[in-house]
C-alpha cells in the first residue's frame, strides 16, 4: 500500500484538473446532494475520487472523465492494483464512479455505463474494534474537567458513548437537538434520516455541567456568541472538526493507558453497540439507535459480541 508521502508525490505529478471535468463533477455533486441528501463527507469523498481519476486520465492522454471508456477505467484500476493501493480505497473509487456514471445516464450525457462490467475488489470483513467497559470508563475519565475545554471534552465523549453517535453526527449537533428535560437527543444521520436517541443519567449530568459552566466561557471571545448554533463549540464559535475530535480521543487514550493504535475514530460508537448486545439488547432496537438503514449492517456487531463470549468461555470455563 503506498504511503501518504507516495500519494502526495503522485498527486503533485498529475496535471491540473481540466475545466470541463471540474464543471461536470460539480454538476454531479449538486445533483447528488439535491436528490439523495448526501452528507458533506460523502460528497467530499466523491469529489476527491473523481478529480483524482480525471487528472490521471488527462495525464495518460485519455478521454475526459465524462467520456471515459470501460478500458480507461479498467486501466486505472489495474494501475492501482500494481501500485499497491488497498482494496477498500479502490472499492470506494468504484462506488464513486458508479454514482457518477449513473447520473450521466439519467441526465442524457451518456448512453452507456462504462462501469457495468467492472467488478469491485474482494474486501476482507473487518470487525469493529470495541473497547472493554473498563477501558471506556478510563477513557471517559481522562479529560481535565476543571477547565471549560475539559468539561466540553468530557461531555462529548460521554454523549458519543451514551448515544452511539457517528463522529460527524457528534460534532455537527445543533444546540436545539438536545432536550435534557425529556432526556433525548434528535440526531440527523446519513441521508438526512432523523432518529431520537435516549440519554443516560451520566451523559445528562455532564451535558448539564457543560452547558452551565463551560459553553459560555468558551464563547467569550466569539464575535456573536448568541448566534452560535452548535452544541459543542471552540473558542471562535465554530464546532470542533472531526479531526479535532479524533485528536482528542487519541490524547485521552494515551492518558487512560490504552494503545492509540487499538482505537478507531468510531471506537466509542462501536463500544456502545457491542456493550448493549453483551447486556441483552434487541438487534432491531440497536439498529434504530445506531441509525442503520439495513439490519445487515447492525448484525456485524453480533459477531463482535459472540467473539467476546467465546473468549470469556475459553478463559473461565473449567473444561475450555
Which of the residues are catalytic? 166, 190, 266, 269, 292, 301
Give the separation between CA 19 and CA 243, rounded to whole angstroms. 31
Give the separation between CA 307 and CA 264, rounded to whole angstroms. 19
Packing angle between helix 87-107 and helix 40-59, nearest 10 degrees? Answer: 90
- Which residue do the cell numbers 467520456 mark? 67
Give the separation between CA 236 and CA 222, rounded to whole angstroms. 5
Q: What is the DSSP string of 192-252?
A: G-EEEEE--HHHHHHHHHHHHHTHHHHTTTSS-GGG--BSS--TTSPPPPHHHHHHHHHHH
Give Cβ neighbours of residue 233 (< 8 Å, ≥ 6 apart). Answer: 152, 215, 218, 219, 222, 239, 240
Helix (H) or strand (E) segment spanning residue 184:
strand 184-188
Give the separation between CA 85 and CA 118, rounded to whole angstroms. 17
Residue 123 DSSP class:
P
Give the separation between CA 138 and CA 252, rounded to whole angstroms. 9
Amino acid at each position: 500500500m503506498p504511503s501518504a508521502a507516495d500519494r502526495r508525490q503522485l498527486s503533485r505529478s498529475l496535471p491540473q484538473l481540466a475545466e470541463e471535468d471540474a464543471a461536470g463533477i460539480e454538476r454531479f455533486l449538486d445533483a447528488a446532494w439535491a436528490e439523495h441528501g448526501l452528507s458533506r463527507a460523502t460528497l467530499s469523498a466523491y469529489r476527491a475520487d473523481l478529480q483524482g481519476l480525471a487528472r490521471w486520465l488527462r495525464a495518460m492522454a485519455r478521454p475526459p472523465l465524462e467520456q471515459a471508456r470501460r478500458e480507461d477505467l479498467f486501466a486505472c484500476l489495474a494501475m492501482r492494483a500494481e501500485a499497491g493501493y488497498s482494496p477498500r480505497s479502490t472499492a470506494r473509487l468504484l462506488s464513486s464512479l458508479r454514482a457518477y456514471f449513473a447520473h450521466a445516464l439519467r441526465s442524457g450525457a451518456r448512453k452507456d455505463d462504462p462501469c457495468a462490467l467492472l467488478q469491485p475488489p474482494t474486501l476482507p470483513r473487518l470487525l469493529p474494534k470495541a473497547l472493554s467497559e473498563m477501558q471506556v470508563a478510563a477513557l471517559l475519565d481522562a479529560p481535565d474537567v476543571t477547565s471549560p475545554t475539559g468539561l466540553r471534552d468530557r461531555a462529548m465523549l460521554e454523549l458519543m458513548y451514551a448515544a452511539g453517535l457517528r463522529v460527524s453526527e457528534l460534532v455537527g449537533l445543533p444546540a436545539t437537538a438536545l432536550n435534557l428535560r425529556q432526556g433525548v437527543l434528535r440526531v440527523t444521520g446519513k441521508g438526512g434520516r432523523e432518529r431520537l436517541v435516549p440519554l443516560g443519567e451520566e451523559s445528562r449530568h455532564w451535558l448539564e455541567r457543560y452547558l452551565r459552566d463551560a459553553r459560555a466561557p468558551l464563547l467569550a471571545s466569539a464575535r456573536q456568541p448568541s448566534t452560535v448554533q452548535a452544541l459543542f463549540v471552540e473558542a471562535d464559535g465554530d464546532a470542533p472538526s472531526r479531526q479535532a475530535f479524533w485528536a482528542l480521543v487519541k490524547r485521552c487514550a494515551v492518558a487512560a493507558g490504552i494503545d492509540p493504535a487499538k482505537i478507531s475514530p468510531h471506537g466509542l460508537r462501536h463500544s456502545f453497540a457491542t456493550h448493549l448486545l453483551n447486556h441483552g439488547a434487541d438487534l432491531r432496537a440497536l439498529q434504530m439507535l445506531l441509525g442503520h438503514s439495513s439490519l445487515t449492517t447492525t448484525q456485524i456487531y453480533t459477531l463482535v459480541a459472540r467473539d467476546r463470549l467465546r473468549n470469556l468461555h475459553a478463559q473461565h470455563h473449567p473444561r475450555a
